[in-house]
């Protein structure tokens, strides 16, 4: 795993452990596995832009006011949390847009 991604994984190990049902130590030692990336996420931004990630999941960090997206093939991304996230069926998973 490239260093920038390792940093995000280490930084978010505790909430990742809770979300994925594994220990923090296991996540730090082994990282994520293919079974973790099980959804398609659609992101909608304040300016009308949008992005879709397959084989992905996300965490919300309310302290940093950020969404961290983990994808199987495209890496990890951090976005400000003023956005909307929908799943592949159009259900709202997160929404901070007016």
**Three-state SS at 68:** strand
Q: How confident is the model at residue 3 (pLDDT cuts 50, 70, 90)?
A: low
pLDDT digits (tens, 9 = 90+) for 75-90: 999 999 999 999 999 9
Mean pLDDT of 36-51: 97
Enter the CATH code of domain 3-95. 2.30.30
Domain ranges of the chain: 3-95
- Residue 96 CA to residue 34 CA, distance in Å, equals 29
């Amino acid at each position: 795993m490239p260093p920038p991604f390792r940093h995000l994984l280490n930084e978010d190990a505790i909430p990742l452990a809770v979300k994925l049902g594994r220990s923090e130590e296991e996540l730090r030692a082994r990282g994520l596995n293919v079974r973790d990336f099980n959804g398609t996420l659609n992101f909608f931004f304040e300016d009308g832009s949008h992005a879709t990630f397959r084989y992905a999941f996300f965490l919300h960090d309310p302290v940093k006011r950020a969404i961290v997206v983990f994808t199987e093939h495209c890496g990890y991304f951090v976005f400000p949390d003023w956005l909307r996230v929908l799943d592949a069926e159009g259900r709202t998973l997160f929404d901070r847009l007016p």
